[in-house]
Structure 1
């Protein structure tokens, strides 16, 4: 199969979209498929991606500019004609649109003109982000943009049932589910480190870990109710524009910056509980990584976490905005060692079969379905 991935976000910027693209591209390249990537050009970018098996995947970079005030986000400025030429040069069987907005919108129009099926993968709650960044007046326009892009695609894949239902409610057609994989070969309880725990917390303290960007949409400041619990040490893994303000707000927390690979795996496995307070998560990959590390998880009862966390078995869900519920749920697990261990084991078992190769093969099935639909003129 010849697979073209068009992504709004890619290396050197690392986020959930980039991670998913890297995982599926690595899988398809290793299984013999011909894969190419189109992504925004930015400083420090490479023209080729080397996969885990040593294969080189070409990355065709297109002209882009940084978004004002948020330089990690790139806005494609290439013409539709130029993009169509790049697509036509490769001649894909199917186009994977990763979190499509501006670049993805131009790509799906080009694909329609070239007669190529497209699978749009929804990952970023852009309408929700507009409110968090003080621009609620853009929410309606954001939904209109998403409808225009996704309804041109052969079909759309949502990462969770909540997100699927929300897309349908806002007029997006032909929506199915495709969840995300987790690297069970990397994350696991075996990475628990007594020496790391000693560096992060005082003897006898319970460790709560958060992993993610330090930005308004993640609502990391809500973790203050846990930071203030006696006998608890909050560890913040990640970086972003809110870091300085959060350090002032929660002076006892350990801010360890961005971590990856086995270093990240060790920080997760060495904690006692994982909490993600963001209410705009379409999936929340870090919850799966925490569960694969043997940790119970707590998150708001909204978005992707609703599908990932089984209350009273693998963690707790709390009512969005009810930080008293968050504090009570954290205390319930932190100070009951037997319950925490049982929840952690159940969490580990719940993600054991969600490897990236398995999820990538599910995605291959979606590609094949898109190609079949296109042949018979369904979409």
Structure 2
């Protein structure tokens, strides 16, 4: 992030004449719940944070963000229109494993259990689809609240909160699930969604921020409007009850994520490093 380490490193590099490349994965919304910023101050805090980011990253020779939407967000927030999209990339082969599935279709969420992830919407939809079970991997400030919600919805026998898990357990969770749900509204790319796609899973995601770059509605899953639990329930119900559709959409996820292979991302960054140093290198196509 640009607050401490990034600020110091960039200032030091510029002072020494060292070429620099900065990558932004910061969104103020991801900090509001941790910092307990009151709602009435969040607009002001967001403006200040982006202005500060522009001051710091403005000193870098090259600036990237993980998706075209993330780049547009930087530009809309006042950063000069020179940022470039470069996918985070993913080692796809790591997520391709076989495990025994649950007895009933399983919908998985992976991520921080914080306000902007909106896991409560997932739980409310799951309560209306009795044929499905849910698995939730991760921890955060809202875990206790959402565990209570699961109890109030009378679905504790169909949803499991795993908390933090080992890397091997995470890979098993992706392999074991039948579909992935990402209701978050502050995703600059969503590594968890990419990981589920690498595992060949269909995705139901909020139509927010950069998620539409990964989820092509009707092809490898569906988008739903944030807050529309009825729409999320309909999409969940359809996938839970249609195994052939899950297979087709899962295959589409595998095809889409192939354009985000880690090797492509590394090649792209090498080209940008060379550009920053005034050298030439083969240009690699950007992932959308």
Measured against the shorter chain, the TM-score band is: 0.7 to 0.9
Structure 1 distance, partners of 2:175, 2:210, is: 22
Partner SS state of residue 95, structure 2: coil
Checking the alignment, whether the CA contact within 8 Å between 1:191 and 1:269 is kept in structure 2 is yes
Checking the alignment, whether the CA contact within 8 Å between 1:120 and 1:157 is kept in structure 2 is yes
Structure 1 distance, partners of 2:3, 2:220, is: 35
Largest Rg, 1 or 2? 1
**Could you say which residue in structure 2 is the equivalent of 1:146?**
53
Structure 2 distance, partners of 1:131, 1:370, is: 36
More off after superposition, 228-237 vs 357-366:
357-366
How far residue 291 of structure 1 moved from its aligned partner, in angstroms, is 0.8
More off after superposition, 265-274 vs 364-373:
364-373
**Could you say which residue in structure 2 is the equivalent of 1:273?**
179
Checking the alignment, whether the CA contact within 8 Å between 1:226 and 1:234 is kept in structure 2 is no
**Could you say which residue in structure 1 is the equivalent of 2:105?**
206
The reply on whether 1:299 has 2:201 as its aligned counterpart is no
Structure 2 distance, partners of 1:367, 1:351, is: 24
**Could you say which residue in structure 1 is the equivalent of 2:150?**
250
TM score, norm. by length of structure 1: 0.66
Partner SS state of residue 357, structure 1: helix
Alignment of 1:295-374 (within 5 A): 295-372=201-278
Partner SS state of residue 120, structure 1: strand
* Pair 1:279–1:290, CA change in 2 (3 A): same
Name the structure with the higher helix share: 2
Alignment of 1:22-101 (within 5 A): 99-101=1-3
The alignment covers a number of residue pairs equal to: 266
The reply on whether 1:230 has 2:114 as its aligned counterpart is no
Unaligned runs of 5+ in 1: 1-98, 198-202, 374-379
Structure 2 distance, partners of 1:184, 1:124, is: 24
**Could you say which residue in structure 2 is the equivalent of 1:182?**
90
What does the per-residue CA deviation read over 1:301-335, in whole Å, with 9 as the maximum and x for residues that have no partner? 12221111111111111122222222222122111
Checking the alignment, whether the CA contact within 8 Å between 1:209 and 1:236 is kept in structure 2 is yes
How far residue 353 of structure 1 moved from its aligned partner, in angstroms, is 4.7
**Could you say which residue in structure 1 is the equivalent of 2:20?**
118
How far residue 115 of structure 1 moved from its aligned partner, in angstroms, is 0.7
How far residue 134 of structure 1 moved from its aligned partner, in angstroms, is 3.5
Structure 2 distance, partners of 1:307, 1:193, is: 30
Structure 2 distance, partners of 1:127, 1:343, is: 31
CA RMSD of aligned residues (A): 1.9
TM score, norm. by length of structure 2: 0.86
How far residue 241 of structure 1 moved from its aligned partner, in angstroms, is 2.5
What does the per-residue CA deviation read over 1:234-266, in whole Å, with 9 as the maximum and x for residues that have no partner? 100112222222111113220112223332111
